Structure 1
Amino acid sequence: MTPQVLVLQHVPWEKPGRILTNLEDLGLDYQILNIVDEKKPDLPSFDEVAGVVIMGGPMGAADYDRHPGLKAEAKLARAAVAVNKPVLGVCLGHQIIATALGAKLHRGEAPEIGFGPIKRVDQHDYFSMWDKQIDVLHWHNDVVGLPESAQLLARSNATKVQAFRAGSALGLQFHLEVTASLLEEWLAEPSMVKDLKAAGGSKSQLREDFERCNPLLEPFAEQVFSGFAVRCRNYAQGLAKAEEEKAPKDPVIS
């Protein structure tokens, strides 16, 4: 079987967006699953997974009682990092990876929703092209600490860990994946609009901010997600080569 990237989605509107575009650009196969409420989810064979993407969602990363599939996601993230398989987490996914690697999860002082600046803390090839500060789209209540031995990449005034690298895993608390069309899907979802209004925002303001910030966010997203896609492709090639070497060779007839 062709190695594929496994994308774990938690709610219909929090889609992979730009992440999928970059996987498709490299011809990578992928599968999108929602296992959040399954105690024993039917996942593809771990050996056939070339990378893992864990998307956002309104649930808490440790809410295993109401969403038992989150435990399987944490276990998968931990197993992937252990064998250097590429992992990408966005918002809830970022928190799932961090807690799976031992970081603490807690409620932020206030929701961080809408566009606002993050500051680069450390240089990494994922984050090499942008200046010290850039406005990104935030949409979260919970925050996480930094996993042990992880590299902190970015922070904001309200959230100390906005991005980190831990081995083969990249966690992003913010939403680089959102395109203009995906933003409209968010703004058609009543629960998202309720969050936005509760945080003092409005649809019109969010649309204006997206238009203003997107010219800088597009190349930044391209760098981050194409970097992840390349890592998945390299891992897939490694899996295919290992499979080839295991295959029985035809006898040589002299």
Structure 2
Amino acid sequence: MKVLAIRHVEFEHLGNIAKYLKQKKIEYKYFDVWKEEKVKNLEEFSALIICGGYMGVYESSKYKFLKNTLNTTEYFLKKQKPILGICLGSQVLAHILSANVFRGDKKEIGFFDVFKRSEDELFGDFPHTFTAFHWHGDTFDLPKSAKLIFSSKMYENQGFVYEKAVGLQFHIEVSKNMVFEWAEKYREEIEKEKIDTKSWEKVKEDVFFTMEKLLFSFLEKFLHRI
């Protein structure tokens, strides 16, 4: 088994997904789309993970490398291989599945509750309500034939399943270090949106522990589909 991970920004990486893959001795490779045009031997990879990024999927004329993301994702969809899209990755999936992706009314940045809207075996261990980390300004319509799994108070479409593809708008792959690294890297946005990152320091370790536990449960089932 070999997993391909599309990365749009160097510090928006797999996070605890990489921790899981290393524990399971599953090989993975980053495809840094802003550096490379394509990956050789795509057929060697069993699954695709699309990481986040600050750009919008509708900005491919500005960020030319997004075409690399779209082309690679379409390949995995056609081959019916498992795909996990996180944040921008979920929007990429929605876009390819002909759903509208657009700017939301308000940015959702910080720790907020996520609510399970329907059952799916991939998320069997997820409670009805849990806390996840969010950082996005864009949202999307639910793709046709996709099943809505998660919502938040601010945005209805937070997670969906379409055949072997999963889109998650929120982040459960982040560690505490990642959260504060992003806050530093995107300091200008934080200040513009008047986000109180000091409150993040008060987030209990249990929140990060639970996110990791739920992530690992999902990955066990997700990668079992290969």
TM over 0.5: yes
- Find 1:87's aligned residue among 70, 83, 88: 83
Aligned AA for 2:138? D
Secondary structure at 2:46 match in 1: strand
**Structure-1 residue corresponding to 2:32:** 34
Aligned AA for 1:7? A
- Please state how far the C-alpha of 1:7 moved relative to its aligned partner: 0.7
Structure 1's 211 and 198: CA in aligned 2 closer, same or farther, altered over 3 A?
farther
Query: Matched residue pairs, number?
Result: 226
- Please state how far the C-alpha of 1:144 moved relative to its aligned partner: 0.8
Q: In the aligned structure 2, how far is the partner of 1:132 from the partner of 1:30?
A: 31
**Contact (CA 8 Å) 2:183, 2:190: kept in 1 or not?**
no
1:128 aligns with 2:124: yes
Gaps of 5+ in 2: none
Aligned AA for 1:224? F
Q: In the aligned structure 2, how far is the partner of 1:73 from the partner of 1:159?
A: 24
1:65 aligns with 2:55: no
Q: In the aligned structure 1, how far is the partner of 2:143 from the partner of 2:42?
A: 23
- Find 1:24's aligned residue among 22, 25, 33: 22
Q: In the aligned structure 2, how far is the partner of 1:144 from the partner of 1:36?
A: 24
- Find 1:168's aligned residue among 150, 161, 164: 164
Q: CA RMSD in A?
A: 1.8
1:150 aligns with 2:150: no
**Structure-1 residue corresponding to 2:92:** 96
1:204 aligns with 2:202: no
Aligned AA for 1:211? E
1:141 aligns with 2:137: yes
**Contact (CA 8 Å) 1:8, 1:53: kept in 2 or not?**
yes
**Contact (CA 8 Å) 1:22, 1:226: kept in 2 or not?**
no
**Structure-2 residue corresponding to 1:230:** 224
- How big is each residue's C-alpha offset from its partner over 1:144-172, in whole Å with a ceiling of 9 and x where there is no partner? 11111111100112212100011111111
Give identity over the alignment, percent: 27
Runs of 4+ off more than 4 Å = none
Q: In the aligned structure 2, how far is the partner of 1:227 from the partner of 1:206?
A: 30
Structure 1's 194 and 76: CA in aligned 2 closer, same or farther, altered over 3 A?
same
TM-score computed with the length of structure 1 as normaliser? 0.83
Secondary structure at 1:130 match in 2: coil
**Contact (CA 8 Å) 1:26, 1:229: kept in 2 or not?**
no
- Find 2:209's aligned residue among 211, 215, 233: 215
TM-score computed with the length of structure 2 as normaliser? 0.92
**Contact (CA 8 Å) 2:15, 2:173: kept in 1 or not?**
yes
- Find 2:10's aligned residue among 12, 17, 25: 12
Structure 1's 112 and 9: CA in aligned 2 closer, same or farther, altered over 3 A?
same
